[in-house]
Structure 1
Amino acid sequence: MTYVPAPVRREQIVAAARRVMARDGVADASLRSVAAEAEVPLGTMQHAFRTKSQLLQAVVDDVIDEIAAVYGTSPHVDHGLPQAIQQNLTDFWSHLVEGHSQLQLMQYELTTHALRSAGHERLANWQYRRYGEGVARWCEDAASRSGEVCAIPFDQLARLIVAGIDGLILQHLCEPDELRSTHDLQVFIDLVITLTETGPAPAR
């Protein structure tokens, strides 16, 4: 077998795990099935990830990094918080929700699997904490760059954004309707922007 550096091998295994979980569901994804998908011996698989919990956390991290990459490429962070909310949530929906039902379903399954599996509850906490921290980070950055203040704390704003987007995605998964979902997303964005009541930061 051709030598593959450990970091590259881990990336290959995580990518394989995402395919297996999207196709078969999180509960049915085993280390053995992921090893087969990645075309590596089970021993190699277990050297990279000793437990399924470790693999699940790596998958969560990879998905969140993908989401962060979408937010990170937005040029609108320099145009104020309302514009950042508008563009980032629109970009997120078009890049990672429309046409990506398996990805979104896998994320919900990761959460419910962790909550239902004794000893794995920490993973669900980690997943949603990282979602919130990522959203709070770009919201605060956008406000700071434009000298704005927000009516509510950024961590609370982020939790509300994550909660609202979660609900819209679940409804879209249950009854796919691009036109309706896009309209509902825009209404939600308008509500969030109103909630922030941004204004210039007070002079020092």
Structure 2
Amino acid sequence: MPYVESSVRTRQAVAAARAVMMREGITRLTMRAVANEADIPLGTLQYVFPNKLGLLHAVISDVVDEIADVLRDSADIDSGLGNAIGNGLRNFWSVLVIDHRDLQLLQLELVTYALRTPGLEDLPRWQYERYCQVVEDWCRRAAARADETAAVPYDQLARVLVAGIDGLIVQHVIAPDSDRASADVEALIRMITDLASVRSAG
């Protein structure tokens, strides 16, 4: 068998674990199932990830990176805070929620599983702190570029925005309805924009 760098094997294993969990759920995840999915020997997988805990840690980090990257790239920060909020939420929903029910279900499963698993229980807090920090950053940057300010602290604005979109995702995962979800996203945008009460910094 040709030599494959450890970093490549890591990516293969994480992708395979995600595929298994998205298809079968986290309770069906085994090291053997991941090795079969990745088409690599079990011993090779166990060399890269000696136990399932380490693999799950890597999967959670990978999912968080993906979602944080989409959040980071979603907002138009050159047209003011109100537009950043609106475009950010719409773009995030279209890129990572519509037609991605399995990914969002996986994220929900990983959060609850990690909270109940010794060694992983701190990951959900890091996960949501990261999401909120990304949103806070683009809110701050959008407001600064337009010489605007918000009526509430940016960290609070970010937490409420993330909580709102998270709640809509849960409802969409439970009972998918694209028209209803689109209307609800627009309602959330209005609520967050009203909370921000954007005004001139001058």
Q: Answer whether TM exceeds 0.5 for this pair.
A: yes
* Native 8 Å contact 1:77 1:142 kept in 2: yes
Q: How does 1:115-154 map to 2 (within 5 A)?
A: 115-154=115-154
Q: TM-score, normalised by structure 2?
A: 0.91
Summarize the Cα distance change of 1:181–1:137 in structure 2 as closer, same or farther, 3 Å threshold: same
Letter in 2 for 1:56: L
For 1:116-171, what per-residue CA distance to the aligned partner results, in whole angstroms no more than 9, with x for missing partners? 22342112222222222222222222222222222222222121111111111111
Task: Give the fraction of aligned pairs with identical amino acids, expressed as a percent.
Answer: 50
Letter in 1 for 2:137: R
For 1:30-62, what per-residue CA distance to the aligned partner results, in whole angstroms no more than 9, with x for missing partners? 222112211112222222223323222222222
Aligned position for 1:2: 2
Query: How far apart are the structure 1 equivalents of 2:48 and 2:148?
Result: 45
* Native 8 Å contact 1:115 1:121 kept in 2: yes
**How far apart are 1:79 and its partner, in Å?**
1.1
Q: TM-score, normalised by structure 1?
A: 0.90
Aligned position for 1:86: 86
**How far apart are 1:84 and its partner, in Å?**
1.0
Query: How far apart are the structure 2 equivalents of 1:139 and 1:75?
Result: 9
Letter in 2 for 1:79: S
For 1:154-195, what per-residue CA distance to the aligned partner results, in whole angstroms no more than 9, with x for missing partners? 222121111111111111122111101100110011100111
Bigger drift between 88-97 and 139-148 goes to: 139-148
Summarize the Cα distance change of 1:145–1:31 in structure 2 as closer, same or farther, 3 Å threshold: farther
Query: How far apart are the structure 1 equivalents of 2:130 and 2:9?
Result: 24
Summarize the Cα distance change of 1:75–1:164 in structure 2 as closer, same or farther, 3 Å threshold: closer
Letter in 2 for 1:110: L
Q: Secondary structure at the match of 2:78?
A: helix
Q: Secondary structure at the match of 1:157?
A: helix
Unaligned runs of 5+ in 1: none
* Native 8 Å contact 1:148 1:200 kept in 2: yes
Aligned position for 2:60: 60
Query: How far apart are the structure 2 equivalents of 1:141 and 1:3?
Result: 45
* Alignment of 1:196 onto 2:196: yes
Query: How far apart are the structure 1 equivalents of 2:27 and 2:155?
Result: 31
**How far apart are 1:75 and its partner, in Å?**
6.7
Q: Secondary structure at the match of 1:170?
A: helix
Aligned position for 1:169: 169
Tell me how many residue pairs correspond in the alignment: 202
Query: How far apart are the structure 2 equivalents of 1:127 and 1:191?
Result: 24
Aligned position for 2:155: 155
Query: How far apart are the structure 1 equivalents of 2:119 and 2:151?
Result: 38
* Native 8 Å contact 1:27 1:113 kept in 2: no
Summarize the Cα distance change of 1:162–1:84 in structure 2 as closer, same or farther, 3 Å threshold: same
* Alignment of 1:113 onto 2:129: no
